[in-house]
Structure 1
C-alpha cells in the first residue's frame, strides 16, 4: 500500500532540518571558529617606518657621494722634513672604507700649545687647482714652515721646541693632538710659521 506524505509531515521535516542547522552555527561561534579566527589569520605587522632604521652615525654624503674627512677616519703622522731646514711634514691617511674630502676646510688648522692662539695662516700660493679628496688608503700632505729666516721686525726668532701640536679639520672642531716622530722636538716660531693647503702628493708639497 503506497505511503502518503501529508503536509503535516513535510512541515515537521523542514522544522527538524532548520533546528539542526541552527545548532551547528551556534556551536561554531562558541568554539572560537568564525570571524575571530578569520581576523587573526588576516592580521599583518605594520611596515617599518624610516624612523625605526638604525642611525649609522656617519655624516651624510655630499652630492658627489663623499663626506668631509674627520679625525675618526684618518691616521695622522708628523715630523721634521729630511734635508729641509725650517720644514715639517704633516700627513693624513684615510683608513676608513669611504672616500672623504677636504672641501669644507682645504688646509689644516694648526695650534701649538695654546688653544687661544689663532691657527697658522695658509700659504695662499699653495692652493691646489682642485680640492683634495681621499679615497680609502690614500694619503694627503701638508708642509709646515716652522719659522721664517727673519721675524717681522727683521730679527731672527728662534721660537720654542715642541714634540706635539694640535690639528683641527674644521673651524669649530677640537684639535687632535699629533705627536712628532719619536717625540723628537722641533723648534717652531708660531708668530712666523705657516702651512700649505692639503696636497695630493709629496712632490706637490715639497716645492714649498
Structure 2
C-alpha cells in the first residue's frame, strides 16, 4: 500500500503543481493595483532648463564646432536624437541631422555628465553663405518629432561663424571623438 501512495503522489505531483500555480495566478490577478510591483520611473528628455550649453571651436576637423550639454539637474535625462539648431536669429529651419552619426543607444546624462554634438558649419560645395552670431538650441523629444522644453540661445565664438547650406549637426554622443568624426 505504501508504494501505491508514492506512485500516486508522483503522478499527482505535476498536476498539483499546475493547480497551485494557476491559483497563485488568479490571486495575483485579483490583487489591487497598489499591491502590484512598483515600476521604475522613466528618464525624461533633457531640456535647456536642466543643462548648461557651450559651443567651442575645434581645430580638427576644419569648419566644425563642438556643442556640449552638461546636466546641471539632480536627475538623469536622455539626450534623444540630435539637437535642433538654428544658426542665427533669422534662421527659418533647423540644421539637418547627420544620419551617419546615429549612435546605437540614447545618450543618458547623469547629473554632472555631458553629451556632445559636432556641428559642420561650412563646406566648399555649399551655397548661401552667411555669418551667424548666435545658435538657437533645443533638445528633441523621445519620438524626435518636436522639441522638449524651450529653445535657448548660445553665443557663437569669435563674434560669429560662417555657415552655408552644407551645414549639419551630429547626433548626441557620449564622447567628443564620436561627435567630431
Q: SS at the partner of 1:68?
A: coil
1:175 corresponds to: 151
Task: Return the offset for 1:131.
Answer: 0.7
From the superposition, tell whether residues 168 and 186 of structure 1 become closer, same or farther in structure 2 (CA, over 3 Å): same
Q: SS at the partner of 1:143?
A: strand
1:36 corresponds to: none
The alignment status of 1:186 with 2:161, answered yes or no, reads yes
Partners of 1:148 and 1:64 in 2: how far apart?
43
Question: Is the contact made by 1:161 and 1:186 (CA closer than 8 Å) also made in structure 2?
Answer: yes
Q: Aligned residue pairs: how many?
A: 137
Partners of 2:132 and 2:89 in 1: how far apart?
12
Larger Rg: 1
1:141 corresponds to: 116
Task: Return the offset for 1:175.
Answer: 2.0
> Structure 2 residue aligned with 1:164, among 128, 131, 134?
134
Task: Return the offset for 1:114.
Answer: 4.7
Partners of 1:122 and 1:83 in 2: how far apart?
20
C-alpha distance after superposition, 1:16-66 (max 9, x if no partner)? xxxxxxxxxxxxxxxxxxxxxxxxxxxxxxxxxxxxxxxxxxxxxx95531
Which sections of structure 1, spanning at least 5 residues, go unmatched?
A: 1-61, 152-156
2:50 corresponds to: 73
Q: TM-score normalised to the size of structure 1?
A: 0.60
> Structure 1 residue aligned with 2:103, among 128, 131, 137?
128
What's the Cα RMSD here? 2.1
The alignment status of 1:93 with 2:67, answered yes or no, reads no
Partners of 1:118 and 1:162 in 2: how far apart?
14
> Structure 1 residue aligned with 2:173, among 177, 193, 199?
199
Q: TM-score normalised to the size of structure 2?
A: 0.68
Q: SS at the partner of 2:92?
A: coil
Question: Is the contact made by 1:158 and 1:187 (CA closer than 8 Å) also made in structure 2?
Answer: no
Which sections of structure 2, spanning at least 5 residues, go unmatched?
A: 1-38, 141-145
Partners of 1:83 and 1:196 in 2: how far apart?
15
Task: Return the offset for 1:82.
Answer: 2.3
Task: Return the offset for 1:79.
Answer: 2.3
Task: Return the offset for 1:87.
Answer: 0.7
